[in-house]
Amino acid sequence: MTAPYTGLDQETRICAHCGYCQAVCPVYDALGWESSGPRGRMTAAHSIAGRKPADAQASRRIYECTLCGACREVCPTRIDTVAAWLETRKRLAEAGALEELPLGRLRDNLAATHNVTGDAPENRLLWQENLEPIVKPVSERKHPERSGASFCGAQSKDATLHDARSASFDCVRHTTPNSAQDAPLRSEPSDLALNGRRGAAIIYFVGCVTGLYPQGHPIAQAMTELLTRAGADSTTLGDEESCCGFPYLGLGLPAEAAQVAAHNVAAAIALGAQKIVTTCPSCYHVWRDVYPELLGEPLNLEVLHASELLARWVTSGAI
Ligand code: SF4
Ligand code: SF4
């Protein structure tokens, strides 16, 4: 449990230099230099708090931190170290450190194209181009034992236990085919309306790495298959999706992070969504924990990581 953050100057004075944090820092573990661990960073941050210019080596050490927060968990003086690292980066960015380090390009990509790679925004949809036809949810397929039963629990006398458990899961389409014979077996990719469909209950927030690196495309494709098989009423923000803002925070540019937070939340609300689901842990973290802080108000959207949604579905029997 951390104490309320009191500002970089004060927090870096509180640091007792005990070194408990060194033992848990993955960067210190990998590099081994005092300056690459949190205790060394505290010393550098104290100097930066006193407005002393940081040399390129000290700046690099500050930006090498992954912001994992392990040091915050063990600090006996309850310093919110992550807040300290973010404030240090903000001060470094204001002093021009991004130009000295090769980070200006990332900032410029984010400003110009709203993603980390500098790709055109419409490239966010490339992963959708080779989606395979997806088998439809069991509720929409021929299923003699359950014909006439709704996936969400409007059950006939033939309804099974599986149907009853499914009733506990929301955002799954209420589908009761009149005739099991005429229910299609597959969803064609072109029918999925994945590019900002108004009225969908769930928005899958894909993220820059998943959407724009070909290595990440199978993640988005697998998630789409699961959403479709479960019969979830879902879409994406399509080319309206902007970087989640975590890279801006990491660069020390919180005002820019707040701008993209406002854009993404407005785009999701404009579509009428109730839930956001992510497969990227950083997107999940900023949507759930940082957006309300940046925007100064609750989101009125439920934010879930894919693993949480899948756990619900497995429990309810939706998949
Ligand atoms: S654990 Fe806390 S008090 Fe100890 S060196 Fe690290 S930041 Fe300073
Ligand atoms: S937040 Fe940074 S300094 Fe702290 S343990 Fe993680 S990598 Fe190390």
- What string of pLDDT tens digits covers the 319 residues of the chain? 789 999 999 999 999 999 999 999 999 999 999 999 999 999 999 999 988 888 889 999 999 999 999 999 999 999 999 999 999 999 999 999 999 888 999 999 999 999 999 999 889 989 988 787 766 555 554 433 333 333 333 333 333 333 333 333 344 443 433 444 444 455 665 566 778 889 899 999 999 999 999 999 999 999 999 998 888 899 999 989 999 999 999 999 999 999 999 999 999 999 999 999 999 999 999 999 999 999 999 999 999 999 999 999 999 888 8
Q: Point out the ligand 2 atom lying closest to the alpha carbon of residue 70.
A: 5
251 lines ligand 2 (CB under 6 A): no
Can you tell me the distance from the alpha carbon of 44 to that of 157, in angstroms, rounded to the nearest whole number?
70
Closest ligand (CA of 83): 2
Closest ligand (CA of 71): 2
Q: Alpha helix (H) ranges present in 65-133?
A: 70-74, 81-94, 97-100, 104-113
Can you tell me the distance from the alpha carbon of 300 to that of 304, in angstroms, rounded to the nearest whole number?
13
- Cα–Cα–Cα angle for 78, 79, 84, rounded to 5 degrees: 165
Per-domain residue ranges for the chain?
Answer: 8-101, 121-136+184-316, 141-183
What does the radius of gyration of the chain's CA atoms come to, in whole angstroms? 24
**AA identity, residue 224:** T
The pLDDT, as a whole number, for residue 138 is 54
| Tokens coding 113 | 């194209």
Q: Are 166 and 316 in contact (CB under 8 A)?
A: yes
The pLDDT, as a whole number, for residue 52 is 82
Q: Which CATH topology does 121-136+184-316 take?
A: Rossmann fold (3.40.50)
Q: Whose CA is closest to atom 6 on ligand 1?
A: 21
Ligand 2 center–CA 98 separation, angstroms: 20
The pLDDT, as a whole number, for residue 54 is 84
The pLDDT, as a whole number, for residue 107 is 96
User: 186: which strand partners?
Assistant: 135
Nearest alpha carbon to residue 57 among 43, 67, 71: 43
Task: Give the pLDDT confidence of 95-138 residue by residue, as tens digits.
Answer: 999 998 889 999 999 999 999 999 998 899 899 887 877 665 55
Q: Whose CA is closest to atom 6 on ligand 2?
A: 68
**Ligand 1 pocket: which residues have CB below 6 Å?**
15-21, 38-39, 42, 71, 75, 77, 79, 81
Give how far Cα 46 sits from Cα of 77, 78, 87, 254, Å. Answer: 16, 17, 11, 20
CA atoms within 13 A on the CB side of 290: 26
26 lines ligand 2 (CB under 6 A): yes
The pLDDT, as a whole number, for residue 25 is 98
**AA identity, residue 265:** V
Identify the CATH homologous superfamily for domain 8-101: Alpha-helical ferredoxin (1.10.1060.10)
